[in-house]
Structures are given as structure tokens and as C-alpha cells.
Amino acid sequence: MNAQPTGLSGWRVVHWVAAIGAALLVTLTPLSYIQWKQFNLMQDVAINQIDSIMWQAYQLERELSHLAYAVHASVDPASTVSGDDLVERYEVFVSRISLVTDMPRSDLLNTTKAYLDAMRQVNEFVAQADPVFEDPKGKLAQRDLRLALIRSIEQLEPALGDLTREANRATARFVDERNDQLRDQGRLVIGLAGVQAAVLLLFVVLLVRHLRRQVTQYERLQHITRELGVAKDQADAANHGKSVFLANMSHEIRTPFQGVLGMLNLLDETQLSGQQRDYVQTARDSAQHLLGVLNDILDVSTMESGTLSLAPEPVRLRTLVQEVEGLMRAAAREKGVSLEVDAAPDLPEWVMADPTRVRQILFNLLGNAVKFTHEGSITASVRPLADTPGGICITVQDTGMGMDAATVAQLFTRFYQADNSVRRRIGGSGLGLEISRNLARMMGGSIDVSSEPARGSLFTVKLVLPTTEAPAQAARSPEQTGQKRKLRVLVAEDHPINLKYMHILLDRMGHEAVFCENGQEALQLLELQRFDVVLLDFHMPVLDGLATTAAIRALDGTNKDIKIVLVTADVVNDTRKRALDVGVNEFASKPLQAQDLQRALEHCGLLDGSTVLVGDEAPVAPAPVMPEQQDIRSSAAGLIDSESYTEIVSMMPADTMDELLRTLFEPPEGSVHVLLAALASGQAAQIGYDAHKLKGTAMLLGFRALVRISGQIEQLAKQEGATFAPELSTQLRADMERTQQALRQFQTVSPA
């Protein structure tokens, strides 16, 4: 009798469990079926309706934007967009019209005002544009007709935007219809949910117990949070102490480092062998790199400790920008990236600024641009801010790898590595941008950045640098360089302009020079005469610089050990290694400057330790003081480096300068016309050679536009199977004419 209730009780429990399981099965099975149907219904809405209505309208709007961009670009005189490109874009746009008119469930859209207005304007635009695009060589080539198309496109764009939005609303209306169906299904779900409610009551007890445990855990977490707050305060105090310690230690380390660098500089001025001088230079480069890292740490530490201050003084802003450009150009050239730095014509001449800190900002931004740009260009500009007294805006635009939004948001975080793998390959401590932003804020400005992956980055720096008067000691004395020892120099250079320039340069430096046009002639002269050093151009006919060097090293007699300096505009790592392998002693980059040649000769050990001005033995007439070239800078922006050209003019007599310009521009033997003739022939080797000669001469004279176009042609000529479009000749001729026009303006503002 006693066992029966137990058995019965146990049986009832088992059946209750079975009943609950059956109830769940009965309710969940239809619920699952209903949910499956709802899922299919929503998938149908998402895939079919949005793609067929809103997406087709958006396609039409997007193709109009592409057409607008192409027509806009074709108006630019320098544009490479052809008439066929415009016709292709237009045909793609027209093909999208039928997608809108024939879309599924078009009844949701084709009765709306937005659709009717858009289709009316589209038909009007097509009626206007068809005759123009049917005649790409005639009507489409007319600039006024393209401008009219641009205006029509601008009027059509809002209507297509409204159509896209109306398509979105039509999709929403269609979804509302489906929602009504879902609502009916929801009623069934509610009924089934009532059955489930009874089952859910069984889990209330378990839920209450769980909530109690959660409350207990929450109270424990609150206690831990308070402890973490105390620990954070202690860590902040320790971090401040660390910053003060780093600031003090960085100062202490930098002081003896300056002594190390000073001793290395003094050691470099003593009589050293070539190998010893190379060791000293390596040690000095390493010390400079380590000192740069220490300086970054010092800057961050002093910023944190609040002891960093600016030391403003009168600064010639344009000169400072050009100095930075000159130092960064070699790094950009070594990576095969073009660098253009433009200082606006209305830039203040003198401003109150800390030149070291302004340079630091420019170096950081340009240095990063060079690091992360593997091909393409870097463009920097410095211009005044019209709406800010004393405001200066600096922009640095590159075509590098770019960054996503998450990286940009963290970019100015200390030690942040945007891409660890890239940073490891390229280097960098992750401090430069944070330091630059803090320095910009100290100068009353800021740094902003916009970037897209694979499309480059744009950094914008705004500073407040008040305009000031030039200091009394700002007048510059003529630059004179030279040395006591007079050298016999053999120069192998195939271009007459460069020959004349190097003749004047060596004469001003007090050396005796003998000139020849190629490496073969240089070898013949070395067999007959004694020289101290040979200056070889890299690209020469008959024998180039490397082949000539190898032949010299194979000579019999003392001349086989003569010092050789390779003069070229493209001494990149691979070229430098090959040159060193064949026996080149030193390098000097084009355009050759007196200080570069002086440094190369010193590194070769050809000059005695004490150096004096050339004036001690060969007086040099002071360069004429040129007037402010504000007009020429304004009219020739991007065409001529006025300071480089002024320096060349100051070195040469007027008749010699005129002869140089004729050698460059006068047909048919002028360098530009020789290159035009080579382009017409289509012979890649000759084109590359003539383009290289023109580039070297243009770099010497500061003709920026000619440097750009000749450099592009030279790079194209190096590609296997290269073809030379007629647009290259057109652009070269246009740049020549614009440069000549700028030179005429320059002569107008120059003294008689």
C-alpha cells in the first residue's frame, strides 16, 4: 500500500515530463514552420524588390554621375579623356534607362511624380545629347557643347536623386504589403505562444535563481571597478613620473651624443683614407638616426611634463619650405615617386615662427608620405588662410596605400601601428604624428587627415604664424665656395648646356677643366694627360658612365686609380650599387651644385683640410641682386623654380645664358625639338636618351614643367613594348611654350 503512491507519483512525474515535451513539440513545430515561411518572405523582399526597384534607379543615377565626371574632366585642357571615352560613358548611361522603365513591379513607382519628372527630364536630356554624342569628332569636340551638356546634367542630377529616393519609398510600400501578411501570421503565433506560456512558467523559478546570482556578481564587479579606479590614479601618477624621468634622461643622453657627433665631424675633416671616411660617415649616419629617436622621445616627454615651449623668431617661410623640399626630394626620387612642393605667390615673406618646429612638422608629414607611397606622386602646398589673421595652411597629398576609417581614428595615438607588417618593413616609432599635432596646437592650429585605402591620404595643417618684418641681418651675401688646391678635372658630358654650366662652375671653384662628350674620348684623354679626378655623366653615347668607369679601372698605369665622381639625376640604390661595384668613388646628383661637387671632392680626399673662399685666389664677381619675383612666381607657378633659375642667371654672362636657352628651345637642334623628333620616329631607345638629356638640363635651369614631362617620357621609354601617344608630343610642346612665356615675363621684371 505504501509503495503504490510512490510508484504512482513517479509515474505521474514521468508523464508530466512527457506531456510538457509533447506540448513543446506541438507548439514549436508550427512556430518553426511559420518562422520559416516568414524568413522566405523577407528574403524575397530583400533580394527581388530592392535589387529590382531601388538598385536600378540608383544605377541610373550613378551612371549619370560617371558621365558628369567624364564630361567635366574633358573640359580641362590637360585632360586625357577622349571623345570615345565620353561616348562609351554616355552609352552606358542610356542603357540604364530601360532598367528603370522595365523593372519588376514598376507599378509601385511609375505613377509617382518623381518618376514622371525624372523620365521626362531624362528623355529631354537624351534628345539633347544624342546628336552631340553621335558626332564625337565634331560636335562633341566643341567645348561649348560639352559645357551645355554639363549644365543639363547638373539639372538632371537632382531629379534622378529624387527618383532613387522614391524607389526606396516604393520598396517600403511593398514591404508594408508584406508586413500585412506577416501580421496575419503573427496572430497564429500569438495563439501558439499562449500554449507556450504555461510551459515557460516552469522556468520562472530557475530565472529568479539566476537573477539573484547576477545581482551578487554585479555587486562584486562594482567593488572591482572601484579598486581599478584607485589603480588607474596610481598609474597616472607613475606615468607622469616616467615622463619627467624620460625628459631628464633624454637631455642627459643627448648632451654627450652631440659631443659624439662633433667629434665625428672633426674626424671627417682630418686626413683619412677612403675606407676610414666611409666608416666615419656610417657612424655619423647611425648617430644621427639614434639622435632623431632620442629627440622624438624628448619631445613627447617634455610635452607630457608641460615644459616644451616654442622659440619664435623671424623666419623666411618660402626659404624654409624650399629647404625641406630639397632635403626630401632625394628620398622621393630614390623611391621613384615625384615630389612637388608649391609655395603660393601671396605667401607672407617673413613670419614669426619656431623654424625648427615648423620644419619638424613638414619633415614628419613628407617623410610619412614618402614612406608609404610606393608609386605615383606627393604634392604639398603652402598657402595663407584668408579668413585667419596670420593663418597658414599646409597640405600634403599622396597616392600611397591610404587608410581605413578605423586607422584614421587611431592615427595620432602614441606608438599606434596602422599596419604592423608594413611598419616593421618601413620603420618608424609611431611618435611623429602625435608630436606634429601637439606642435600644431601650440602654434594655434591643428592637423586633419582624410584617407581611403589604396587611394592615398591628405593631411591638412593649419598654423597661426604672424607676419613680421625682415631682420636687419637678413641680407644674404653671395654664396662662394672653393678651396686652396687647384685640381685638373676631366669632365665627360654629352649635353652642351651642362658642359657650359660645369665649365663656369669649375672655373668659379678655381679648378682647371678639360671637357669631352663621351666615355671613349675620356679614355683617350686619360692615356695622354694627367688628371686629378674624372666627372662622368651616367647617360652618355658610345660609353656610358658605368662602362667608362670599368674601362678606366682596366687601364695600365697610374690613371687606373684616378678618383671618379658619377654625376647623374637617378642614383638610386641599384644604380649606386652597380656603380660602386665597377669602381666609382663618389656620387653627385643633378642639377650639380657647388656644395655637392665640393662635398664629393672632399670625400674623395682630393682637397686639403683647410678650405677658404674662392675669392682668395680667383675673385668672383658678386651675383646681381635680383628683384622680388612675385610676378614671375604667380605667372609661372609650377613651370619654373625661380630661385634656381635666378641662381643660374647670376652665374653666367647674358650672352652665354642666351646661348644656353637657344640650345634648349631653338629648332631644329634644341633639346626639346630633338625629343619631339624622336617621339615622331617612335624609337624607344633614342626617345629615352633624348628625354634623359632634356630632363637633366631642365633640372639644372629649374624648368619644372619640362622636368615632369621629360621624366614621364623617359620612364615610359624604359618599359618593354612602350608606345608613345601623340598627346605626349602635344604636352611637351605646350610645356615648352608655357615655359618660354614665363621666361619672357621673368626678363620683364628683371633689371636691365
Neighbours of 109 (CB within 10 A): 26
300 and 330 part of one domain = no
- Among 588, 615, 642, the domain boundary falls at 615
Among 270, 290, 307, give the residue marking a domain's end: 307
Residue 232 lies in a domain: no
Query: DSSP H helical segments within 335-394, as ranges?
Result: 355-371
Is 445 contained in some domain? yes
Q: Are 181 and 322 part of one and the same domain?
A: no
Angle between helices 355-371 and 432-442 (to 10 degrees): 140
Are 90 and 142 contacting, i.e. CB atoms less than 8 angstroms apart? Answer: no
| 53 in the same domain as 187 | yes
The more confident residue out of 24 and 6 is 24
Residue 6 domain flag: no
Are 718 and 572 in contact by the 8 Å Cβ rule? The answer is no
Cα–Cα distance between 556 and 545 in angstroms, integer? 19
Shared domain check, 137 and 80:
yes
Phi/psi of residue 382, each to 5°?
-130, 120
Q: If you count DSSP H runs as helices and E runs as strands, how many of each does the chain have, helices first? A: 24, 12
- Based on the domain organization, do 36 and 153 belong to the same domain? yes
SS (H, E, C) 617-646: CCCCCCCCCCCCCHHHHHHCCCCECHHHHH
In this structure, the answer to whether residues 161 and 59 fall within a common structural domain is: yes
Q: Are strands 446-451 and 457-464 parallel, antiparallel or unpaired?
A: antiparallel
Residue 670 domain-assigned? yes
| C-beta of residue 496 within 8 angstroms of C-beta of residue 538 | no
**Residue 334 near residue 370 (C-beta atoms within 8 A):** no
Kindly state whether residues 444 and 340 are assigned to the same domain: yes
Largest CA distance in the chain: 136
**Hey, what's the cell of 551?**
674601362
Query: Cell digits for 33?
Result: 514552420
Shared domain for 181 and 277, answered yes or no, is no
Given a cut of 60, is residue 368 above it in pLDDT? yes
Q: Which helix (H) or strand (E) holds 59?
A: helix 55-75
- The answer to whether 31 and 189 have CB atoms below 8 angstroms apart is yes
Note the pLDDT tens digit of each residue in 386-426.
888 989 999 999 998 888 888 888 777 765 555 544 444 44
Helix/strand/coil for 206? helix
Residue 297 falls inside a structural domain: yes
In a domain, 37, yes or no: yes
Are 608 and 701 within one domain? no
Same domain, 492 and 434: no
Q: With 50 as the cut, is the pLDDT of residue 78 above it?
A: yes
Residue pLDDT, tens place only, 10-55? 445 555 566 666 666 766 777 777 777 767 766 665 555 555 677 8
Asked if 719 and 595 count as a contact pair (C-beta separation under 8 A), the reply is no
Question: Band of the pLDDT at 200, cuts 50, 70, 90?
Answer: low
Q: CATH number for the domain including 163?
A: 1.20.120
How far is residue 399 from each of residues 166, 338, 409, measured CA to CA in Å?
38, 10, 20
| CATH number of residue 714's parent domain | 1.20.120.160
Least confident of 114-118, 375-379, 583-587, 637-641: 637-641
pLDDT score recorded for residue 615: 31
Among 497-511, 543-557, 729-743, the range scoring the smallest mean pLDDT is 497-511
Shared-domain flag, residues 65 and 181: yes
Asked whether residue 333 is assigned to any structural domain, the reply reads yes
**Is 80 exceeded by the pLDDT of residue 456?**
yes
pTM of the model: 0.35
Q: What mean pLDDT value characterizes the chain?
A: 76
Write out the H or E segment, with its range, that includes residue 451.
strand 446-451
* pLDDT band, residue 427 (cuts 50/70/90): very low
- Residue 689 and residue 678: Cα distance in Å, rounded? 10
Between 41 and 499, name the one with better pLDDT: 499
Q: For residue 555, tell me if it sits in a domain.
A: yes
Into how many domains does the chain fold? Answer: 5
Domain that holds residue 245: 240-307
Pair (560, 517) in one structural domain: yes
If you average pLDDT over residues 264-268, what whole number do you get?
68
Q: How far apart are CA 691 and CA 712, in angstroms?
A: 9
684-701 and 704-717 helices cross at what angle (nearest 10)? 160
Contact 710, 569 (CB under 8 A): no
